[in-house]
Amino acid sequence: MKLLFVVDPLPSFKTHKDSTFAMMREAARRGHDIWACEPHEIVWHRDGRVQARCERITLTGHPTDWYTVAEEAALALADADAVLMRKDPPFDAEYLYTTHLLSQAEREGARVFNSPQALREHPEKLAIMAFPQFIAPTIVTRDIEAVRAFHAAHRDVILKPLDGMGGAGIFRVKDDGLNLGSIAETLTRDGTQTIMVQRFLPAIEHGDKRVLLIDGVPVPFALARIPQGGEVRGNLAAGGKGVAQPLSESDLAIANQLGPILAARGLLLVGLDIIGDRLTEINVTSPTCFQEITDQMGFDVAARFIDALEARLKA
């Protein structure tokens, strides 16, 4: 099969931990053709189909010079057997425009994973609000006085932008309220940008768990990203330590409840973030942690993913 990955620049991949690379490697092992493009290479001409300037790549097995370009071509997205949208956040206007181009490609017959409509409808932090039974007290607002009132009610809170990734822009304000006004003004850009505020979860000391759902079915192991050095952020990009572990009963309860719902909405791959027994994010753009779980637990996440992709394409 011809698989087209819409990705960040290939030279930027850290192949020892990159989940998209793990997908490519497993797909190539099965004999599938690997094509790649960046979002800015997707074009739609009047009276034409959505296409992209693409490279067909061959994996070398080398850790740094990990691919060679076997072919360059303009490829209509509908001519690929599957298009895998794996561009990292931020979920900004350009990302949104790319999903609209992918939706047009779908109308032309392309099979896109995750569904571009589902990507648009599940902004990663806001999406948890549809499942209030699983989340901590939370408010989404750009009203600074509403932020102050939320802090007054809960005393120890986390503030974060809606479009961040890797722990960027996350602040904790404790009971003393130190710098709450300044942080709220900065994150909301003086009340012009919406943010999320949540009650602080002390269970973060045991890790921010990434639970992967593949076609609605949970991978049996999570990666707990444990804060280091006095940090409140467990994100690996913020220096967190990744420790794989079996899913807990509460992890399974959340995953089994959300899995079928999200799969039915066109989300083949989802990364749930769970602290303690509370859901904190639903990651749909380019969920990661494949290689860390595989390396530590011996469970081949990429193989499970390609199995699910092949099953969807045969359906």
- Other beta carbons within 10 angstroms of residue 156's beta carbon come to 14
Catalytic residue among 26, 163, 283, 292: 283
* Measured torsion, CA atoms of residues 127, 188, 165, 113, in degrees rounded to the nearest 10: 40
Question: Which one of 210, 235, 278, 292 is the catalytic residue?
Answer: 210
End-to-end CA distance of the chain: 15
Q: Which of 25, 86, 209, 233 is catalytic?
A: 233
User: Catalytic residue at 125?
Assistant: yes
Task: Catalytic residue, from 160, 199, 278, 304: name it.
Answer: 160
- Cα 62 to Cα 18, 67, 68: the distances in Å are 14, 8, 10
Question: What superfamily in CATH does domain 137-200 come from?
Answer: ATP-grasp fold, A domain (3.30.1490.20)
- Give 3-state DSSP helix, strand, coil % of the chain, rounded to 5: 35, 30, 35
Say how far apart CA 143 and CA 273 lie, in whole Å.
26
For residues 5 and 86, is the Cβ–Cβ distance under 8 A? yes
What is the biggest distance separating any 2 CA atoms in the chain, rounded to whole angstroms?
A: 61
Q: Positive or negative CA dihedral for 120, 126, 130, 133?
A: positive
Q: Where are the domains of the chain?
A: 2-114, 137-200, 203-304
Is the confidence at residue 191, as pLDDT, over 70?
yes
Residue 84: half-sphere exposure toward Cβ, Cα within 13 Å: 28
pLDDT of 234: 63
Task: Give residue 166's pLDDT.
Answer: 72
Question: Active-site residue among 215, 281, 292, 304?
Answer: 281
Please, which pLDDT band fits residue 228 given cuts at 50, 70 and 90? confident
> What are the pLDDT digits (tens) for 19-60?
999 999 999 999 999 999 999 999 999 999 999 999 999 999
Q: What is the pLDDT of residues 241-286, one digit of tens each?
A: 999 999 999 999 999 999 999 999 999 999 999 999 999 999 999 9
The pLDDT of residue 91: 83
For residues 169-178, give the mean pLDDT: 95
Give 163's pLDDT tier (boundaries 50, 70, 90). Answer: confident
Catalytic pick among 199, 225, 278, 304: 225
**Structure-model confidence comparison of residues 315 and 62, the more confident one:** 62
| Known catalytic residue at 233 | yes
Q: Which residues have C-beta within 8 Å of that of residue 66, sequence separation ≥ 6?
A: 13, 15, 21, 59, 60
Give catalytic status of residue 210 as yes or no.
Answer: yes
> What is the pLDDT at residue 235?
67
The per-residue pLDDT of the chain, averaged, comes to: 95
Residues 85-119: tens digit of each pLDDT = 999 988 889 999 999 999 999 999 999 999 999 99
pLDDT band at 230 (very low <50, low <70, confident <90, very high): low
What phi and psi, each to the nearest 5 degrees, are found at residue 125?
Answer: -90, -40
Helix (H, G, I), strand (E, B) or coil at 177: coil
pLDDT for the residue numbered 239:
73
CATH assignment of 2-114, given 2.40.30.10, 3.40.50.10320, 3.40.50.20, 3.40.50.300? 3.40.50.20
Domains 137-200 and 203-304 fall in the same CATH topology: no
Going by C-alpha positions, the residue among 146, 286, 289, 95 that lies closest to residue 207 is: 289
Is residue 292's pLDDT more than 80? Answer: yes
The reply to whether 281 belongs to the active site is yes
Amino acid 165: pLDDT: 73
More confident residue, 64 or 151: 151
Residue 251: Cβ-neighbour burial (10 angstroms; 0-12, 13-18, 19+): buried
Q: Which residue of the set 86, 87, 125, 278 is catalytic?
A: 125
DSSP 8-state secondary structure symbol assigned to residue 307 = H
CB half-sphere exposure, 255, CA atoms < 13 A: 27
Query: How does strand 269-275 pair with strand 208-214?
Result: antiparallel
What CATH fold (topology level) applies to the domain 203-304? D-amino Acid Aminotransferase; Chain A, domain 1 (3.30.470)
Start-end of H helices in the chain: 19-29, 93-107, 116-121, 144-154, 180-187, 249-264, 290-297, 301-314
Q: Spot the catalytic one: 106, 215, 273, 292.
A: 273
